[in-house]
Amino acid sequence: LERAGDAGGFELIDLSLADHAVDRLTLIADLPRAIAAGELFLHYQPKINVRQQQVSSAEALIRWQHPDRGLIMPGDFIAAAEDSGLIGPLTLWTLRQVIADQRRLAALGHDIPLFLNISGMLLANAGFIDEVCEIITANPAAKLGFEITETAVIRDPESAIRHLQRFADHGVVLAIDDYGAGLSSLAYLKQLPAKELKIDKMFITQLTSSHRDPLIVRSTIDLAHALEMEVTAEGVETPAALALLSVMGCDLVQGYLISRPVPFPALCSYLGEQDQLAETMASRPVFLRSGSS
């Protein structure tokens, strides 16, 4: 028990933490079964090219439909999968799934790259890197991207950069995810073979109500452009944020304003209705002005 400051009461902080730990343990023990039982599935969230007003790619986000616990989000099992060593097999499953979905998209005439999230810690695992390269070599037509958080790169920069270069040599587009949220290092950023920088949503969701976030976002966009990278803003929730990002020269946007992460069939129909998307975006006056400048 811990004394809660101003409120003058007591909180069951320790107990709830213990519960959570037990929870994670049982969940993780259950994960291999869940993969085999087909309880994991992917949602896709489109990334929109601001100038072209078109879907440029989509990101796969994993979910777990548990028979007893219902829908479990990645925030509740990815960290545990990393701790337990299951993240490797889980990511290979995701990679195969994404390749199959990308092939389906291409067959429907929507040959856009699909991105998956790769835990940075896997970049230290040579066996994992080999398996990934094997799978993508066997599927040369699949347009793929990997989103990687750069905090992990800093832990062992040389080998991580070497491994990322192998992915890039195999035609995989690399994006740095959650930029600004962790220990961002400009020194390593410069060396990474990444084409895309994703600004963490913590700087985007309050973009138009904060004093500092617009300054941080603008300078990050300029920095990324100086390094010849494309910039994605994640967490775009309002027309005002979209308008401001457009003025700032942000290349790609992703967020609930445009689309939540959706099941694969919904992504397919979304891609078939892109005229509608252009209309939605063009109907925002500020956005139009900046787009034509």
Residues forming the site for ligand C2E (CB under 6 A) = 45, 61-62, 73-75, 78, 91, 94, 116-117, 119, 147, 177-178, 201, 205, 234-237, 255-256, 261
Give the Cα separation of 280 and 52 in Å (integer): 13
CA atoms within 13 A on the CB side of 266: 10
Nearer to ligand C2E, 57 or 94 (CB): 94
The interface partner of residue 255, options being Mg ion, ligand C2E, none and the CB cut-off 5 to 8 Å by kind, is ligand C2E
Nearer to Mg ion, 10 or 256 (CB): 256
Give the Cα separation of 130 and 144 in Å (integer): 16
Q: Which are the contacts of 222, defined by CB distance < 8 A and separation ≥ 6?
A: 249
State how beta strands 40-49 and 54-66 pair: antiparallel
Write the interaction track for Mg ion spanning residues 65-104; mark x where CB under 5 A is met and - where it is not: ----------------------------------------
User: Are 271 and 292 within 8 A, CB to CB?
Assistant: no
Q: How many residues bind Mg ion (CB under 5 A)?
A: 5
The interface partner of residue 46, options being ligand C2E, Mg ion, none and the CB cut-off 5 to 8 Å by kind, is none
Residue 117 touches Mg ion, criterion: CB under 5 A: yes
Q: Which are the contacts of 287, defined by CB distance < 8 A and separation ≥ 6?
A: 239, 242, 243, 246, 281
- Cross-strand bridge partners of residue 186: none
What part of residues 176-195 is at the interface with Mg ion (CB under 5 A)? 177-178
User: Are 55 and 3 within 8 A, CB to CB?
Assistant: no
Q: How far is the CB of 61 from ligand C2E (least distance, A)?
A: 4
Q: How far is the CB of 31 from ligand C2E (least distance, A)?
A: 12
Residue type, 201: K
Nearer to ligand C2E, 47 or 143 (CB): 47
Residues forming contacts to Mg ion in the complex (CB under 5 A) are 117, 147, 177-178, 234
